[in-house]
Structure 1
Amino acid sequence: MSAVEPLDVAQPPPAGPAGFEVRRPGPAETPPPTPVIFASPHSGRLYPDDMMAAAALDSRAIRRSEDAFVDQLVEAAPAAGATLITARYARAYMDVNREAFELDPAMFADALPDFARSRTARVAAGLGAIAKVVSEGQEIYARKLTFAEAQARIDLAHRPYHQTLESLIAEAKAAHGVAVLVDWHSMPSLAARVAGAGCDMVLGDRFGAACGEALTGRVEKELEARGYRVVRNTPYAGGYTTEHYGRPARRVHALQIELNRALYLDEEALTPNAGFARLKADIEALTAALTAEDWTTRL
């Protein structure tokens, strides 16, 4: 991994659903061995032709919005007993950690339907389901999009991802009486400095609304034992996935983990740095601890 992986600009994946990949701990026809599900919604590297034809930026500039290589950091999860779902389309194409119709009307040549959610904080920041900007506020598109283009992206990338994630959660709950969803992300090192001097990770549980303290506390304890500086909910309390699925009263617990990119990534070159192997090993140790826990009685 000494160089940036080539961008898959035109071709869909060779097999399986185009928008995501699911890796299970065992055969699909058998119940999952643990209730733990890992998700990486922002590490996708597919940039379809229709997006790039409308873009004002080149693919490398747009790629700075990715949670680069997070899917590789968590790729060993199935071996430890956790189901893993990773998005394949780039978040700039369709952000599956947003509500599907969280869209900015200023980006579109035609009117959005009345049910579109156009006045959220994420839309105001240019980071709706279809992002307006990437890092440093650079606008992605050279022209206005159409709602038909947005609907096509939702049907291709957003809807199938969440239909599958809902199914995985239902399977885990049916097998174990509880589901534990960990949504993995990375944050620019500048954002990590805002969170606190030297912050390595941010745990987002919607201030306790999305998961039980037993889960947040266990993750925090495991990470701090490995020398990481961890904060909760600032500046990231959890996105759409955490908010939408985290229902502790229904025994579905969702936690977002933000990793400081400086831990594992050369943010300028977009290549793994010398810390990648250590962070991956520590995530694997955390995964083992989570899958070994009896969440049926803890949550």
Structure 2
Amino acid sequence: MEPLTVTRGKGPIVLAMPHSGMWVPPVIWARLNERGRRLADTDWHLDRLYEGLVPDATIIRANFHRYVIDTNRDPSGKSLYPGQNTTGLCPITDFDGRAIYQEGMEPDASEIEGRRRAYHGSYHAAVADELERVRKEHSIAVLYDCHSIRSHIPFLFDGTLPDFNVGTNGGVTCDVLFERAVTSVCAAADGYTSVLNGRFKGGWTTRHYGRPEQGIHAVQMELAQSTHLEAESPPFAYSRTKADRLRPYLASVLETLAAQARTLAKEA
């Protein structure tokens, strides 16, 4: 299994999908416990949800599961949300705080470093290369980091998560025009809730690459999985009815970002 799939487009939008892959190397799979093998923390069906929504987008998809290594975490292991419950670079618990490895089978520091080089490093090398390619072609690149999560996880946050969770790390990872473009579409989406820089302010990817002064703008979109799954429990089935209602709003977000990128590129 190739660790990632890159589909090159000609437009200014780069879609990153770090958590939709489900492949776990056999040597790791054998050490997961029953709970870990559920892979419950997958960003379910995002490739299908976003398919064809914006023409000429570049798509970078990690094929390995986040339990192998989380490519949206700081490679140093530093927490992105100090003082809050979260999962680590190579998670040993799931989003409910429960162990995912058989007792004594967790990865040690040496193994984590090996995974970092093999998976985290290769994924981010591709992201960096594609962003630079797009920026050179258009004088601007917009990284849209695609995520989803269960809407109710007491270990991670109180209450029910809004449907659209937009993260720009407090407005520093993109020009304010991009932030407004996304939030305006989400706020106007009939029957959906949204928040800007709430519980999810943007992970390592958004924070690392978002350099608007250098022509690279980054936005994270964390969708509540209730927006496109039949149920937020096994088998985590895709709901075509829900997705068909959601997809036009996601398309509008991406089309608005692309249009804004073209406008700024002309002004540069």
TM-score w.r.t. structure 1 length? 0.78
Residue 59 of structure 1, CA deviation: 5.2
Residue 147 of structure 1, CA deviation: 2.8
Provide the C-alpha distance between the structure 1 equivalents of 2:245 and 2:252, rounded to a whole number of angstroms. Answer: 11
1:296 matched to 2:259? The reply is no
Residue 216 of structure 1, CA deviation: 1.0
Aligned with 2:212 (options 231, 245, 248): 248
1:233 matched to 2:197? The reply is yes
1:207 matched to 2:170? The reply is yes
Residue 150 of structure 1, CA deviation: 1.6
Aligned to 2:237: 271
CA offsets 1:31-70 (integer angstroms, 9 cap, x no match):
x3x2211111111111111111221235543x11111111
Aligned with 1:217 (options 168, 171, 180): 180
8 A Cα contact 1:82 1:291, kept in partner: no
Aligned to 1:127: 87
Aligned with 2:253 (options 278, 283, 286): 286
Go from structure 1 to structure 2 and tell me whether the alpha carbon gap of 1:220 and 1:131 turns closer, same or farther (over 3 Å shift).
same
Provide the C-alpha distance between the structure 1 equivalents of 2:63 and 2:193, rounded to a whole number of angstroms. Answer: 30
Aligned to 1:138: 98
CA offsets 1:195-233 (integer angstroms, 9 cap, x no match):
887721111000011111100110112233332322111
Residue 120 of structure 1, CA deviation: 6.2
Q: CA RMSD in A?
A: 2.6
Go from structure 1 to structure 2 and tell me whether the alpha carbon gap of 1:19 and 1:298 turns closer, same or farther (over 3 Å shift).
farther
Go from structure 1 to structure 2 and tell me whether the alpha carbon gap of 1:260 and 1:55 turns closer, same or farther (over 3 Å shift).
same
1:160 matched to 2:122? The reply is yes
Provide the C-alpha distance between the structure 1 equivalents of 2:204 and 2:158, rounded to a whole number of angstroms. Answer: 20
Aligned with 1:70 (options 30, 35, 46): 46
SS in 2 for 1:135: coil
Unaligned runs of 5+ in 1: 1-11, 13-17, 26-31, 103-116
Provide the C-alpha distance between the structure 2 equivalents of 1:191 and 1:59, rounded to a whole number of angstroms. Answer: 17
8 A Cα contact 1:214 1:298, kept in partner: no
Unaligned runs of 5+ in 2: none
Provide the C-alpha distance between the structure 2 equivalents of 1:226 and 1:291, rounded to a whole number of angstroms. Answer: 19
SS in 2 for 1:137: coil
Residue 297 of structure 1, CA deviation: 4.8
Residue 178 of structure 1, CA deviation: 1.4
Go from structure 1 to structure 2 and tell me whether the alpha carbon gap of 1:206 and 1:198 turns closer, same or farther (over 3 Å shift).
closer
8 A Cα contact 2:36 2:101, kept in partner: no
TM-score w.r.t. structure 2 length? 0.87
Aligned to 2:30: 53
Identity %: 27
Residue 160 of structure 1, CA deviation: 0.8
1:258 matched to 2:222? The reply is yes
Go from structure 1 to structure 2 and tell me whether the alpha carbon gap of 1:89 and 1:35 turns closer, same or farther (over 3 Å shift).
same
Shift >3 Å, 4+ stretches = 119-126, 191-198
